[in-house]
Amino acid sequence: MGLNTSLDSLRAPIVRRVERLQAQWATFAQDDDARLLRWVLAPNERKLMDTFFVVEEHDGGVSPDLFLRLEVPFALPSHHGLELVEAMTSQYHALRHDLGQAGVDASWVPPRRERGQDDSRVFLQAAQSFHEHHQPLFRHLVLVLLPEEVSSSADWTAWVERVVLQAHAAQVRLVCFDDPSSPTLAGVARAQARRVRTCVAGLDMGAAMEEVSSAAGHLDTPQGHFRHLYVKLGRALEARDLDAARRLATEAVAVAKAQEWSHLVVTTHVALATGYMTKEDFPAAIACYRSAEAEALAAHQRGEAQGLPLQLKVRMALGGALICARTYSRSGDLYRDTAPLAEQLKDDRMLLECWRMAAYGYELARDHDASWACGVRAFPVAHRMDEETRRTSTLGYLGDGLMRLTRTWKYRAHRGVVEEQMSRLLGPAWRPPDSRRPSP
């Protein structure tokens, strides 16, 4: 009985928020004019939204609707609808055997595309056909559009509006997510107010985590006390209440230091630094990173294995703060001096990043000789990487920086050599897609 009560208490904050999402969906689903739900979610609410879909796909669901999540990258606007139909068909084929076993007629195939037919019309007709084929198993077919990548926000917005304008069947509904801090579909919602409904999820995940921590108990122990302080710190940072965050961080650091939890001292300083970075208070952020660095160094000197990795992690973040503060030479110095740490840890990915960022800092400081000297130090590191590590590293950006330096008089003769090296390491299309000259 006690164990079940405890588990119920831990689950309750999450269950209440899933129920809130279910209620939000029910309101939208009952609106006969609506076709698209623009669900506005904070980044830390996405995981709970995933939980909502999992619940609705299984016995715990309360909606009579069928949700299909389509994680198709948005690349070409004129083909996106066709790619979504392909994704729907692929998902359906994967489930066909199980559907047949459950007595469902799993013979659906999408309608053939008519010559010259718009891709969004093809997509909507396939969805309507899918719905009609499987009646009366569910009320609405809900297509949740989750593009893994978007080549152009403007094109994505225009495509969504085009689909909304052609979405006549009330049995087919669409869901898109928007970020409250950088919304992309607000214009579509205003222009198509009759067909688009906006719902702000408003889950307050910081409060949920605080409730879970309280329910977990043991707040009179160091472990429980630190856990609860750190959760409250996260909530204060989310609310951008830096005064409260600073007080909570000070208390959390005191608890962690008393228990000699070096990694938690570092983690707390870094969390507070991130809050200051969000507020663009770079001197305060740098001070927090310096405190974290000092703790990591002390941990290493005490012989703690985590000391060096913590130092490396903190110094990489500190270098970014120095760049944001426009202290470019200092950032170059810091990244250059951090390279031996990465080498000692045998972390080639981070070693390459040290040399790349040192070169970038010096470039911004217009110290071209120091930038070039650091940049070319990355080539031996890149050559000894395996192909996958090299491909997923920041090597392309390093090459791009060196190519910028070859526009100067001193290094103009090295352009061909850099191009040849980069092509050998990453292939002819080595340049990163967002290649651009850094602002001074």
State pLDDT tens for residues 2-14: 444 466 676 788 8
Specify whether the CB–CB gap between 334 and 315 falls below 8 A.
Answer: yes
Residue 197 parent element (H or E): strand 196-200
245 and 325: one domain?
yes
Please give the pLDDT value at position 440: 38
pLDDT digits (tens, 9 = 90+) for 185-222: 999 999 999 999 999 998 887 777 777 777 777 788 99
Please identify, among 141, 171, 205, the residue that sits at the C-terminal boundary of a domain: 205
> What CATH number should be reported for the domain holding residue 19?
3.40.50
109 shares a domain with 40: yes
- Same domain? For 350 and 231 the reply is yes
- Domain span at residue 139? 2-205
Query: By CB neighbour count within 10 A (0-12 exposed, 13-18 middle, 19+ buried), where does 260 fall?
Result: exposed
**R_g (Cα) of the chain, nearest Å:** 27
Give dist(CA 71, CA 429) in Å, integer: 26
pLDDT (tens digit, 9 = 90+) per residue, 353-379? 999 999 999 999 999 999 999 999 999
**pLDDT at residue 272 tops 90:** yes
For residue 59, what pLDDT is reported?
64
Q: Note whether 248 and 169 are same-domain residues.
A: no
- The arithmetic mean of pLDDT across residues 238-250, rounded, is 93
Question: Do 122 and 225 fall into the same domain?
Answer: no
**Where does a domain end: 205, 239, 269?**
205
Residue 320, in any domain of the structure: yes
pLDDT band at 1 (very low <50, low <70, confident <90, very high): very low
| Residues 33-47, mean pLDDT to the nearest whole number | 92
Task: State pLDDT tens for residues 122-154.
Answer: 999 999 999 999 999 999 999 999 998 888 899
pLDDT for the residue 2: 45
Q: Is the per-residue pLDDT at 88 higher than 80?
A: yes
Q: Quick one: 177 and 259 in the same domain? A: no
* Shared-domain flag, residues 157 and 270: no
Is residue 367 a part of any domain in this protein? yes
Overall domain count for the chain: 2
pLDDT in tens, 319-350: 999 999 999 999 999 999 999 999 999 999 99
DSSP class of 184: S
- Tell me the whole-structure pTM to 2 decimals: 0.74
In this prediction, residue 438 has a pLDDT band, given cuts at 50, 70 and 90, of very low
Query: 388: alpha, beta or left, given left = phi > 0 and alpha = psi -120 to 50?
Result: alpha
The contacts of residue 306 (CB under 8 Å, 6+ apart) are 262, 263, 299
Mean pLDDT over the full length of the chain: 91
In this structure, are 24 and 169 located in the same domain? yes
| Whole-number Å distance between alpha carbons of 252 and 259 | 11
Q: What is the pLDDT of residue 407?
A: 94
Model pLDDT, residue 439: 39
Same domain, 184 and 238: no
Name the band, by pLDDT with cuts 50, 70 and 90, for residue 181: confident
Query: Has residue 308 been placed in a domain?
Result: yes
CA–CA separation, 148 vs 78, rounded Å?
Answer: 18
Give first-to-last CA distance, the chain, whole Å. 64
Q: pLDDT > 70: what percent of the chain? A: 96
Residue-wise pLDDT for 89-106, tens only, equals 999 988 888 888 888 888
How confident is the model at residue 8, as a pLDDT? 67
* Residue after which a domain boundary falls, among 186, 205, 224: 205
